[in-house]
Structure 1
Amino acid sequence: MPGQYTSVAFTDSLALQELSASIGSVGDAYDNAPAESIIGLFKTEAVNRHCAFAGLSEVEYAVMEWVDWYNNARLHSRLDYLTPAEYESAYYAQRQPRRPALV
C-alpha cells in the first residue's frame, strides 16, 4: 500500500503531549531534509577527513568520535556559541524542580 500510515492512537498520544508529528505529506522532502543535512555534515567532517579506513573498527570509532563531538563539544551559533551540553546544563539549572501533586 503506497503512502504513509499513522495510527489514530499515535496521533492522539502526540496531541496529549502537545507535540507535532514530523510526518509530512506523501512525496515531500520535509521529513528527510534534516537527516540529509546531518548525513552530509557527517560525510564532510568525519568521512572525508580520513584518507581511508583500515577496517570496520576504524569506521565505528570515527562515527562515535564525531557523534560525541556533535552532541557535546561543538559550538553552536543558535545556542549563543555554547556547546549543546553547556546549553542543556544551563537550561536545567534554571528550571524549578517539579513538586509532586498533593492528594
Structure 2
Amino acid sequence: MRASAWEPNALAESINGLNEAVVIRRRGPWLSLKAVEFAILEWLDWFNHRRLLAPIGNIPSAGAEARYDAARRNLPVVA
C-alpha cells in the first residue's frame, strides 16, 4: 500500500478518537442514538468554525480554508 493511501484515513481516525473522548464519553450517558449524532454534529461545528488556532492567526480552520480558496481563485491560470 502506498503511504499516501493511508494518510487521510489516519487523520479521520484521529478525529474519530477525539469525538469519542471529548463528546461521547464526557457528555454521556445518552438517551438515544439521535442525541449522540446531534452532539457530534455540534462538536464538529465548534471544531471547524469556532475553535481558534494560534498557528494560523487565531482564526478557525474553516476561516483559513475560506481564505485559501479565495486566494486560489484569484491566481492567474497558467497554460
5+ residue gaps in structure 2?
A: none
Aligned residues: 77
List aligned pairs for 1:84-99, cutoff 5 A.
84-95=61-72, 96=74
Which one of 36, 44, 47 corresponds to residue 67 of structure 1? 44
5+ residue gaps in structure 1?
A: 7-20, 25-29
Which one of 11, 29, 39 corresponds to residue 16 of structure 2? 39
2:51 is aligned with what amino acid? R
More helix by share: 2
TM-score (structure 1 length as normaliser): 0.55
Which one of 30, 34, 46 corresponds to residue 53 of structure 1? 30
Residue identity (%): 36
Moved segments of 4+, more than 4 Å: none
| Residue equivalent to 1:18 | none
Larger relative contact order (Cα-Cα within 8 Å, sequence gap ≥ 6): 2
